[in-house]
Amino acid sequence: MLNVIENLKLTHKFALILMASTFAFNGNADEKQLAQLSEGFNAEQKYMASCFACHSTGAAGAPKVGAGMSAEWEPRLEKGLDAVVQNAINGVNTMPAKGLCFDCSDEDLRAIVEYMVDTSS
């Protein structure tokens, strides 16, 4: 029962974060548009399918993901979340552009990065 409640809390937190993160602002601060995630996109599922192999083990220096791994992300986040997202989009070190998520949009990759950072705290 406790696991179910914890999963619901995590799901609720993730949904709120995802909703907040999907607003993109163009040059005019008064105009807001919803960033387009791919249809049916689920950041956790896509992470498990495309990112887990390296980010669960720290392969090739990838920051690990999971409870208590925030220290892995701190040096990267010093440059800001946008810089981390750009690394995911363009590739960095041994990680190819888009990691292993070749069908992800830039917005999908942002959601995955946010998922990884959030679940590592």
Domains and CATH numbers, the chain: 41-121 (1.10.760.10)
The chain-wide mean pLDDT, for the chain, equals: 79
Question: Who wins on pLDDT, 37 or 48?
Answer: 48
Query: Rounded mean pLDDT of 57-70?
Result: 95
Provide DSSP, 68-107. T-HHHHHHHHTT-HHHHHHHHHH-BTTBPTTTT-TT--HH
Query: Rounded mean pLDDT of 41-58?
Result: 95
pTM of the shown model? 0.69
> What proportion of the chain, given as a percentage, has pLDDT over 70?
70
pLDDT recorded at residue 36: 65
